Amino acid sequence: MSLLVILVVSAIELTLAPLAQVRETRWVTAWHDWLGNELSGRSWWDGTPGLLLLVAVPMLAVGLLYGWIGALGAIFAFAFATLLALYCLGPGDLNQDIDRILQAGSDAERTEAGAALAVNLEDRSGDAAELTLRGIVVAAHDRLFAPLFWLVVLGPAGIVLYRIVAVLRQGGGYGGMADAARHLHSILCWVPERLFALGFGIAGSLQHAFDAWRATEDYSLEHGQTMMTRVALAALLPVAEADAEADTLVSRVRALCGLLNRSYIVWLTLLAALLLASLAG
Q: What integer pLDDT is reported at residue 134 of this predicted model?
A: 94
Decide if pLDDT at 172 tops 90. Answer: no
* Three-state SS letters, the chain: CHHHHHHHHHHHHHHCCCCHHHCCCHHHHHHHHHHHHHCCCCCCCCCHHHHHHHHHHHHHHHHHHHHHHHHHCHHHHHHHHHHHHHHHCCCCCHHHHHHHHHCCCCHHHHHHHHHHHCCCCCCCCCCHHHHHHHHHHHHHHHHHHHHHHHHHHHCHHHHHHHHHHHHHHHHHCCCHHHHHHHHHHHHHHHHHHHHHHHHHHHHCCHHHHHHHHHHHCCCCCCCHHHHHHHHHHHHCHHHHHHCCCCCCHHHHHHHHHHHHHHHHHHHHHHHHHHHHHHHHC
Q: For 125-134, how does the pLDDT look when each residue is reduced to its tens digit (9 = 90+)? A: 888 888 999 9
Q: Is the pLDDT of residue 25 over 90?
A: no
More confident of the two residues 178 and 14: 178
pTM of the shown model:
0.91
Share of the chain above pLDDT 90, in %: 47
39 pLDDT more than 90: no
Return the pLDDT at 244. Answer: 52
115 vs 149, higher pLDDT: 149
Q: What is the pLDDT of residue 36?
A: 85
The predicted-structure confidence for 63-103, as pLDDT tens digits, reads as follows 999 999 999 999 999 999 999 999 999 888 888 889 988 88
Give the model's pLDDT for residue 246. 56
